[in-house]
Amino acid sequence: MRIASAERRTLLVQAALRVIAAHGVSAATTRAIVAEAGMSLASFHYAFRSHDEMMRELIGYVVDAESTAAFAVLQPGADIRTSLRDGLRAFLDYVIADPGHEQVMQELVQYSLRTPGLESMARDQYASYHRAVAELLTGGAAASGVRWAVPVDDVARLVVTVTDGLTLAWLADRDAAAAVRVIDFAADAIAALAVPLTQPIRSVP
């Protein structure tokens, strides 16, 4: 093999993610990971200097993956309230369909916060969320012919606050109906922050 060096790192990271999704961060031991990847212990330490180094790369990997996963389809013409509601419901459906994935994200944030030297990665993870949602909100507003009356970054933080709270509560009590009620309320409330875009915005009125 020739190009395997970086690729095998990715294979090990993905195997580690499968182990974490199935049994949690604490079960992601070096041996469990290589077993999942079908490799031997020596291969692991040939690709990574240490288990910690692999975890660092893993967190960077999920942050990148998350920031490019725009799991919302913007429908031009729909009003912003409907777009928000549909987007949040799609997110909930996704969590319900694959609870392991969001649980991994939550666990990795905790892991980052707890591991010396990795605290900044938790910040990066949230910055990545906020940026992705802000882009979605900007696109959604344009598609609905509105603009945000407050900075879009603030609106993005609201949305992420809701999705996080929503996810945690659903993971704990699996009450999807209650989650939908939260979504409908949040969509209404957040949509109220959008104002009609009658005129192109100009700097000096």
Can you give the binding site for DNA, defined by CB under 7 A? Answer: 1-2, 4-5, 8, 28-32, 39-47, 49-52
Angle at 186 between CA 182 and CA 188, to 5 degrees: 120
Least distance between DNA and beta carbon 109 (Å) = 20
Among 63, 146, 163, 187, interactor with its own copies by CB under 8 A = 163
Taking the C-alpha atoms of residue 167 and residue 175, their distance in angstroms, rounded to an integer, is: 11
Q: Which does 41 bind (CB under 5 to 8 A by kind): DNA, its own copies, none?
A: DNA
Task: Give the nearer residue to DNA in terms of CB position, either 8 or 81.
Answer: 8
CB of 41 to DNA, least distance (A): 4
Partner whose binding site includes residue 113, from DNA, its own copies, none (CB under 5 to 8 Å by kind): its own copies
CA distances from 156 to 94, 125, 151, 197, 202 (A): 19, 14, 9, 19, 24
Look at the block and give the residue holding tokens 């900075």: 151
Question: Which among 91, 49, 52, 85 has a CA at the least distance from the CA of 69?
Answer: 91
The entry of its own copies, DNA, none near residue 83 (CB within 5 to 8 angstroms by kind) is: none
Whole-Å CA distances, 110 to 29, 65, 78, 128: 17, 18, 37, 16
Q: For its own copies, give the closer residue by CB, 40 or 106.
A: 106
Nearest to 25 by CA among 123, 116, 103: 103
Contacts with its own copies by CB under 8 A lie at 23-24, 26, 103, 106-107, 109-110, 112-114, 122-123, 125-127, 154, 157-158, 160-166, 168-169, 171-174, 178, 181-182, 185-186, 189, 192-193
